[in-house]
Amino acid sequence: MIEVNSISKSYGKVKALQDVSFSVDRGEVFGLIGPDGAGKTTMFRILSTLLLADEGTATVDGFDVVKQMRDIRRRVGYMPGRFSLYQDLTVEENLTFFATLFGTTVEEGYDAIKAIYSQIERFKDRKAGALSGGMKQKLALSCALVHQPSVLFLDEPTTGVDPVSRKEFWEMLSMLKERGITIVASTPYLDEVRQCERVAFLSEGRVMGIDTPEVILDRFKDIFNPPPLKAHPIPSKPPRGEAVISVSHLVKAFDDFHAVDDISFSVKRGEIFGFLGANGAGKTTAMHMLTGLNQPTSGTGRVAGFDIRTEHEQIKKHIGYMSQRFSLYEDLTVAENIRLFAGIYGMENEEIKTKTDDLLRQLKFEAHKNDLVGSLPLGWKQKLAFSVSIFHDPAIVFLDEPTGGVDPATRRQFWELIYDAAARGITVFVTTHYMDEAEYCDRISIMVDGKISAMGTPEELKQSLQQPDMDHVFTYLARQAKRGD
């Protein structure tokens, strides 16, 4: 179905792909895996006829990607790394747009998408930007399938999606395979890598190996399965047991809908607190109230000693924040970004200069201080964004899915930075969809339907719910949700 022969592609001095060759059988589920910056997205764009290679040839379903791109575009569906939907269009308008783009209609292609689209069709008048991650995923897949393609290219389609929705997505892919559709997917999740029949491991633009997932994951285990982090002690002083976040009966309602429905908890100084929940459970809404971005409907809360209702401007000065959407300026250099945010935090010039040199040395970024942030691999960007968010030594740093789409080795390095911050007494309040990261937290709360359904250490939750690991704990609780997306 797919033949790739000696493909190379460079962006200036950067060699994104170097002499890459592989083939994919008809009806196969094939994985393209590797660390950030390995060349996976460039390969997808070449095969989807969105980018021309510098050297080499490739065919999809027997058609040349250069000479017969029109034929290929009728036969492929493509989900890029970031959701490909138009946020201001409704569910139905997005689907209609993509059908029209491929010269068909929703009615003509409905049978091809019925099993997936029927799960979200009742929300057809809702804007795509208002959908949860799981619903966006189903809509994007429906849009990619509406013209009945024979090949489906999926570039990290489940990044930012909770574990239960990810499982449902791969169940949908199994159904598509049974219909004979060839699927090529990239993913940073090891459980999804194992769903592929074969995988090609890319690193620095080269194919390092092609084999079954088991063989590749074992052969390159240093990259895909780095040793776990050792638990860190929670600082006990100064002062002992101080709560830096305290919330009581917090509610956020939008008309009759309670996004956050009467939650209470506290977090200690230097603690790594995991704030988990399925897409749409209310995590981000709660975090927005704690960071002063949104006002509660009722209830009380204090963050770093300040009232979340009346002192939100003070809160913003004493916290760090890193959103799930990358939060630095891509058209500024590394050094310019550091200086900009340090200035916003009110730091003095001499302190900025000294701490910038220290940070660049710690991140091993000295040679890249004048590189545009937009040119950096995702994992580098994430580590830089985190480091900038705590550059001013805040009392608390809020991290909203900070490692989404990042490979396992880079995620481990990121968590080493988190441990270092916690050891300095910075409280880390983190949301994540990686359940191995949940194991690194001191305590965890899991939200279901706007409420905190469970709270405790990872070991306490596993024992009380009689589950073998945090993935099973999360799935057990999330499947009890009653309100729809």
Q: What is the pLDDT of residue 102?
A: 86
Query: What percentage of the chain has pLDDT greater than the value 70?
Result: 96
Identify the CA nearest to 311 among candidates 333, 285, 344, 289: 289
Q: What is the pLDDT of residue 233?
A: 62
Give the CA radius of gyration of the chain: 23
Q: Contact, 398 vs 429, CB < 8 A?
A: yes
Q: What is the pLDDT of residue 216?
A: 96
445-477 per-position pLDDT tens digit:
999 999 999 999 999 999 999 999 999 999 999
> Is 168's pLDDT higher than 80?
yes
According to DSSP, the β-strands at 319-322 and 206-211 are unpaired
Instruction: For residues 115-128, give the mean pLDDT.
Output: 89
Q: What is the pLDDT of residue 382?
A: 84
> Is 20's pLDDT higher than 60?
yes
Q: Contact, 210 vs 201, CB < 8 A?
A: yes
401-451 per-position pLDDT tens digit:
888 777 788 888 889 889 989 988 899 999 988 898 999 999 999 999 999
182-236 per-position pLDDT tens digit:
999 999 889 999 999 999 999 999 999 999 999 999 999 888 888 877 766 655 5
Q: What is the pLDDT of residue 239?
A: 47
For 479, the 3-state DSSP assignment is: coil
> Is 482's pLDDT higher than 90?
no
Distance of CA 180 to the CA centre of its chain: 29
Rounded to the nearest integer, the mean pLDDT of the chain is 89
Q: What is the pLDDT of residue 256?
A: 84
Count of Cβ atoms closer than 10 Å to residue 356 Cβ: 17
CA distances from 440 to 139, 154, 213, 376, 418 (A): 33, 30, 26, 27, 10
314-332 per-position pLDDT tens digit:
898 899 998 766 678 889 9
Confidence of residue 83 (pLDDT cuts 50, 70, 90): low
256-303 per-position pLDDT tens digit:
888 899 999 999 999 999 999 987 788 888 999 999 888 999 999 999
> Is 361's pLDDT higher than 70?
yes
Q: Contact, 330 vs 372, CB < 8 A?
A: yes
2-19 per-position pLDDT tens digit:
999 999 999 888 899 999
For 10, the 3-state DSSP assignment is: strand
For 338, the 3-state DSSP assignment is: helix
